[in-house]
Structure 1
């Protein structure tokens, strides 16, 4: 579900969001419209204060008719502020929607210059409100955009919803030292939180004004819905001569009405007068008190212009709550409800819209470029195709557990192809000895898994190669072996591959090159070897080989929680580490690379199994604190002891297809010990969400009293029927059942039954002792050949360390 909302957020963001950039930019321009116009037009809307009385509305009306005798005065706006000009509105000419506004000196009624820049702001307002479309179509279009902005706001809130709801730093801060995509995402998401409430005001008010049915419904709730106007009765056509000879009505004298207004509106700040078209009609005056909460807090009067009788007076404070709330909508939209501070907030929020559009597009394009680059890197090679007649392509084969060997193989192939060498790239997962025999030159980039074993994806090829009878006297090969010197069988699979190929008659082009944890020097030697092997082509050496991921692949998360899971244990402390950060998606069984300490540390990153799912809203790890002669382990010591809550953690998600979830309808057996509960817990949580109940957990630790990690969660799964089979083994307890592999042998019949029923086996935990013991136990229970077949079929999946 989260992935669906994520895709919807991006789709709306890069479509409607592009037009919303225009809405936001024009809204920012309009935020300080009045202040900008006053700055551009000194002496127009405000003149120098004089020691003289301000003229009356009647005098302004007479002066306006003298200036524009052909136009009718429709409104007069006066302010009690000293020096404020009178604003006289005139009826629009035929065919136009809006008439002219003229400004008159408040002391002499002399005409003042036209307001410069007003036409520009009128154009910007039309763009903002209607996108320069006809009014009805434009209003509907901007209303749809308001709905889109509402959707972006709410989905954005959902996508970054943190588990620690009341931690304000998670909501409102991010580390500006982040780089690349992490910086853009942090800026995008945190800024969205800052302006979220303002955006909700924008969207709700925009929808209110855009759609008449919604506005009528809202007005009905507020008690301000006006009844539809009755159609005016048709008038008989009079002879043209009679209409021409009919005398025009004289304009009403406003003096008496103004006197009545001043008596009944003490402390007025603004008065908006609507002179009647006919002298016998009442005059309407809308006015705002000097202590009004906002400029739309208008009271109203209806006055007989001939007698000055006050016909109706409705004070703003006496209006129903709904009417007062309705009057707040426009000031809230503009920000003027909170004065200059509100206008600044609205200005920043409006400018944020194009900012979101820009950062959203940058994130989208970066994501697209990364995907295109990965596709292009693979598409430029023909996977598994036999060499064409007369050609001498080189096979670049790789055995990868987590993608490192694949990355180096692709980089190597790209270097060769740049030098003009035909290259076929293929995973050992799909390679067979007969297919290998079709090549004269083959280069292998081989990772080792555990204690020198082949990665799970290469197990089939390794088994086939061991039993193959082909002879490879025509084949020249070279092996780049990736490994970790902390394991006793360093680069074991690479050496096994080298020995088997040599035994089958293939000729090594050079000795195996060993790479310890992505060692740059060893990779440089591989690059030089490529150049030598392919005729000393200089172009090959120009391409740097790097097994490590780029910094742009790391995102910034925060350490949000640290919980000791085994207090009092005789073993090393085991901690649940909780990280919060950017929205991300991963599969059960995924891994994370974590930089110890600050992200620019010179260390190598450390890898951990994820113990949570994206739906949990956080990343959770289960980390065993490592202690050695030099003190605490570099990464485990930092995560479990040295880092402070809230510190930045640089994280890179690593897909782990070899330990991915199998079919939801297949039974699953989960086997592990210690911190291996992390990978198993992520799988089990996913199974709970899917409603899959055919699950079996076999898990081992030292003592039930101190090492029953995740016990409450496991008990709940068992109680609700999601773990019909549960074996918890505690090796240090007298009645604990020994080790995991011992319990498996005790339950061998049940294991065979589950395997016969299509079960998938998942093993997660320490390589020393547990994983090897489990493998031997499974071989004893099922037979080594059947176990190999299960691995090849993806039904024996391991994440061991």
Structure 2
């Protein structure tokens, strides 16, 4: 806006919600809030203090104009809850919402761009007054190591937890990273953020699709994490930036829009024009199957006649995001060793083999004693009870077992401890029973009560919820008489939903309630941190 209109000389501040304390909202005039909803309807960890401050604040902000862009994922039941709550609370405190709250399902850039356009169109009419900036940016403190400046951990151990001899068998790996000297700390229940590197053959395929050699000199993107090995280099080769900083998998609509103006081949023109027919670029109308099956290179290969420049293609690509893995080790056991458990992702679309970025980076390309950029991601809504005498029921099939390994390690170290009941599930006892030896040793030593469901070892499939239903009377006694806490980790869309339904049925049948009353009972447990979930969409 500054470049397009000489009347404007705007100096907006972009501030992480984590640093909200440096903001005096009584002095602000216009505030755009971009905030996501994590997990099962909670604010991101960085935004938690701001969120709680806003809910508790009684300071009127009648002078403030604002708008909220709420980011979320409709696969979760409390879609965009954080953004909706922020919008409601700011309105209750008197602020004027000048652009309607916009809910974004995952990365729907058509919706995001529409909101940004509305914001920029509104600003000239806001009649903002000028003043000296009161914010002291020196007051913003950064952790020694964080998402922006990850620690270079050393991979010390890596081994398969599964036996793969059949077509549908999954590779699941256990990894241990040495973080000695980092001063990084974590609590059982937290996650490790890992920055991966892209697969070199996939990079080569994309470079070919870009009509490049890979040796072109390009600028390091503004979002690049700080790396002590090359933090002073502003330029690097195209191959280098594609290796570390760009997402080769997910396609932004910007790329299709750029290609529409650029391709010269007749058939290619017809194809891309068909994608833009009848406003298909409006939210949820884009032919999703076309994009779902394709990566960035596939799109460029579909329109080989393009003459897009290197910088234009890069500007239409997403940043390579870190991936998060629940930590499967307790800091009380070893504060310098962080363990993760990950299922290696491999699949096929359009006749081409595809790979999960981070899991294959660790499994296939990261050698023992090599370094890997990592940081800690807090998960304050997934915590063991302070009182170790409280019984806990842990429900985590597949890699959902990861944080529970840390929980059990911690409870094992207690002088005395309440019941720890673990429900684990996998397909086959002899192929993907993760941590089998350790779990059965804990069970033999009375550290845990172990219930394992093998879904494919008999004609009728058996899941963790079937074992929960079988044990409904004992579970009811634990949660109702002994104030036990329940933890669920794993797939949100199917497993967590099915377990939740089973728990409602358990409470209803054993507690003499109807299902609505049982749901309210579990909701109250959740409000009291006795029913916690760490779930994700597969």
Normalising TM by the smaller chain, what interval? 0.5 to 0.7
- The alignment's C-alpha RMSD in Å is 4.6
Q: Which residue of 2 aligns with 1:555?
A: 151
Pairs within 5 Å for 1:738-757? 738-756=462-480, 757=482
- 1:763 aligned onto 2:500: no
Whether the 8 Å contact between 1:590 and 1:655 is mirrored in structure 2 is yes
Bigger fraction of residues in helix:
1
Residue 491 of structure 1 and its aligned partner are, at CA, apart by 5.4
1:492 has 2:80 as partner: yes
Alpha-carbon shift at residue 513 of structure 1 (Å): 4.8
TM-score (normalised: structure 2): 0.57
1:480-499 per-residue CA deviation (whole Å, 9 max, x = no partner) reads 323369x5789532575589
1:622 aligns with 2:341: yes
Alpha-carbon deviations, 1:47-73, whole Å to 9, x = none? Answer: xxxxxxxxxxxxxxxxxxxxxxxxxxx
Residues 532 and 781 of structure 1, relative CA distance in 2, 3 Å threshold? farther
- Give the equivalent residue in structure 1 for 2:514: none
Return the alpha-carbon distance in structure 1 between the equivalents of residues 116 and 375 of structure 2.
Answer: 25
> 2:378: which partner in 1?
655
In the alignment, the residues of structure 2 paired with residue 780 and residue 678 of structure 1 have an alpha-carbon distance, to the nearest angstrom, of 27
Report the equivalent of 2:197: 597
What is the deviation of 1:775? 2.0
Match of 1:709? 434
Point out where structure 2 has 5 or more consecutive residues left out of the alignment.
1-14, 52-61, 199-224, 228-243, 246-319, 508-517
1:719 to 444, 452, 459: 444
Paired residue secondary structure (1:623): strand
1:613 aligns with 2:211: no
Q: Distance in 2 between matches of 1:586 and 1:709?
A: 23
The alpha-carbon distance between structure 1 residues 613 and 494, as it changes in their structure 2 partners (threshold 3 A), is: closer
Cα shift readout 1:255-283 (whole Å, capped 9, x = no counterpart): xxxxxxxxxxxxxxxxxxxxxxxxxxxxx
Q: Find the partner of 2:99 among 492, 510, 530.
A: 510
**Alignment-derived partner of residue 535 in structure 1:** 128
Of 577, 581, 590, 2:179 maps to: 581
Question: Cα–Cα, structure 1 residues 530 and 713, in superposed 2: closer, same or farther, change >3 Å?
Answer: farther
User: Match of 2:522?
Assistant: 787
Which of the residues 643, 656, 679 maps onto 2:403?
679
Distance 1:639 1:702 in 2: 24
- Pick closer, same or farther for the CA change 1:495–1:445 going to 2, 3 Å: closer
Looking at structure 2, the residues matched to 611 and 517 of structure 1 have their Cα atoms a distance apart, in angstroms, of: 29
Partner Cα distance (1:536, 1:738) in 2: 65
How far does the alpha carbon of each residue in 1:635-680 deviate from its partner, in whole angstroms, 9 at most, with x for none?
1110121212222111101221111221212111100111111111
Question: What's the TM-score, normalizing by structure 1?
Answer: 0.39
Check conservation: 1:557, 1:649, Cα contact below 8 A: yes
Query: How many residues end up aligned between the 2 structures?
Result: 362
Q: Deviations over 1:53-106 (max 9, x none)?
A: xxxxxxxxxxxxxxxxxxxxxxxxxxxxxxxxxxxxxxxxxxxxxxxxxxxxxx
* 37, 61, 72: which one aligns with 1:448: 37
Q: Which residue of 2 aligns with 1:277?
A: none
1:475, distance to aligned residue in structure 2 (A): 11
Alpha carbons of 1:578 and 1:498: their partners in 2 closer, same or farther (altered >3 Å)? closer
**Structure 1 533/701 Cα, relative in aligned 2: closer, same or farther at 3 Å?**
farther
Alignment match of 2:16 (pick from 377, 383, 408): 408
Output one character per residue of 1:26-58: Cα deviation in whole Å (capped at 9) or x when no partner: xxxxxxxxxxxxxxxxxxxxxxxxxxxxxxxxx
Q: Which runs of 5+ in 1 are unaligned?
A: 1-406, 423-440, 463-472
Residue 67 of structure 2 contacts residue 97 of structure 2 at CA under 8 Å; is this kept in 1?
A: yes
Counterparts in 2 of 1:525 and 1:765: CA distance versus 1, 3 Å: farther
Structure number with the bigger relative contact order (C-alpha 8 A, sep ≥ 6) is: 2
1:110-149 pair list within 5 angstroms:
none
Q: Any idea what the Cα deviations from partners look like across 1:504-557, whole Å, max 9, x if unmatched? A: 9997421335676799x8798899789986936587899999x99956642111
Provide the rounded CA distance (Å) in 2 between the counterparts of 1:415 and 1:503: 18
1:698 aligned residue (402, 408, 423): 423
- The residue aligned with 1:420 is 27
Match for residue 667 of structure 1 among 380, 391, 394 = 391
